[in-house]
Structures are given as C-alpha cells and as structure tokens.
C-alpha cells in the first residue's frame, strides 16, 4: 500500500490523541508486602506519569510512569535506608523504575489493561496492568494494581528470602489532567 494511503488512515486516529499529565497532589503508588507473614504497607512519594489517549478510544493510547526509587516510604527512616541499599533497589545505581506501555486493551468487565515493560534495577519484564479509567472533573482518574515478584528484578536476596515474601501487591491512583 502506498505511504500516503497509510498516512491518510492513521492521521484521524493520531489527531484525536491528547497528552495528559499527572496531577502530583492527586497521585499515589502504594504497595503491600509480607514480612514474616505480616502485611507491611508502603509507597513511593515521587513519581511522574505521561499519557496520550483519546478518551473515546483509550486503547489507542500510551502510558509511561517513572518512579523515583529514593522516594520510597516504608514507614520508617531505617526501613527507607535499608531498601535503598544494593541488595534491595540499589537506588544509587538505578534511581528510577519505569513502566512503558506497548498497547492497551479493553477487558470484558469494562476495565482496561496496559501491556508493557516494567524496568527495575536495569531488568525489564513484560507485565500487564489492569486499571479503570473514569472521568473526574476535567481529567481522568486511572486506578489499578498488579502483583510484582521481587525476585524477577533482583530486589532483596539471600537471608531476606526467608523473611520477606517474594510477591508485593502494587496499587496506584493517578489523576491525569490536560
């Protein structure tokens, strides 16, 4: 097919996409992980998100989230310092975790799923992140979560394997504004 015909087919789709940015005051990334079989809550204080999508066709969009690893909040200063060490997140060498979508699909229950790569400590893994997208004011609220195996990214090892569960449950809430 001729290039001009492809451009003619793509331009209407591209023209409808809008760039959206994270409202930092309304965003949250949290996690739960078990330590000695006791659930521990935490989160990340600093992160950014960029999205480009048409609200009528969000599955044609894209999403990129960057998390500042040094902004981790385990609930204690001692815990925060511990998980920044090389055996955990190694935040000096790997200051950011990044999720970048490759595609977005609609799920049967009305939710969406972002399929992409999560990179932590220099290791990229394909993941699927289910989420909802609902209108809020002049923006869109994206909420969801996914399980993360810390062993997939080399987070914590050795003696910690007997103390901290391998799976963490990640939850997020982002208000995307124009």
Give the pLDDT score at 16. Answer: 63
Give the pLDDT score at 25. Answer: 87
Give the pLDDT score at 75. Answer: 94
Give the pLDDT score at 112. Answer: 95
**What is the CATH class of 17-177?**
mainly beta
Give the pLDDT score at 7. Answer: 38
CB 100 within 8 A of CB 117: yes
Give the pLDDT score at 160. Answer: 81
Give the pLDDT score at 5. Answer: 37
Give the pLDDT score at 76. Answer: 95
Pairing of strands 96-106, 57-68: antiparallel
CB 169 within 8 A of CB 147: yes
Q: CB burial class (10 A; 0-12, 13-18, 19+) of residue 17?
A: middle
CB 116 within 8 A of CB 144: no
**pTM, to two decimals:** 0.86
Task: Pick out the chain residues at pLDDT < 70.
Answer: 1-16
Give the pLDDT score at 162. Answer: 85
Give the pLDDT score at 147. Answer: 98
């Amino acid at each position: 097919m001729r290039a001009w015909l492809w451009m003619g087919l793509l331009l209407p789709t591209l023209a409808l996409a809008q760039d959206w940015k994270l409202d930092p005051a309304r965003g949250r990334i949290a996690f739960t992980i078990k330590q000695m079989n006791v659930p521990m809550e935490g989160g990340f204080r600093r992160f950014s998100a960029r999205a480009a999508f048409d609200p009528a066709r969000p599955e044609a969009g894209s999403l990129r989230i960057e998390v500042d690893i040094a902004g981790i909040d385990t609930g204690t200063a001692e815990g925060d310092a511990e998980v920044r060490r090389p055996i955990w997140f190694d935040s000096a060498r790997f200051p950011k975790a990044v999720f970048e979508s490759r595609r977005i699909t609609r799920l049967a229950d009305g939710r969406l799923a972002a399929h992409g790569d999560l990179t932590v400590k220099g290791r990229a893994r394909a993941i699927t992140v289910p989420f909802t997208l609902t209108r809020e004011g002049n923006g869109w609220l994206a909420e969801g979560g996914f399980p993360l195996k810390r062993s997939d990214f080399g987070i914590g090892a050795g003696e910690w394997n007997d103390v901290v569960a391998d799976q963490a449950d990640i939850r997020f809430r982002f208000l995307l504004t124009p």
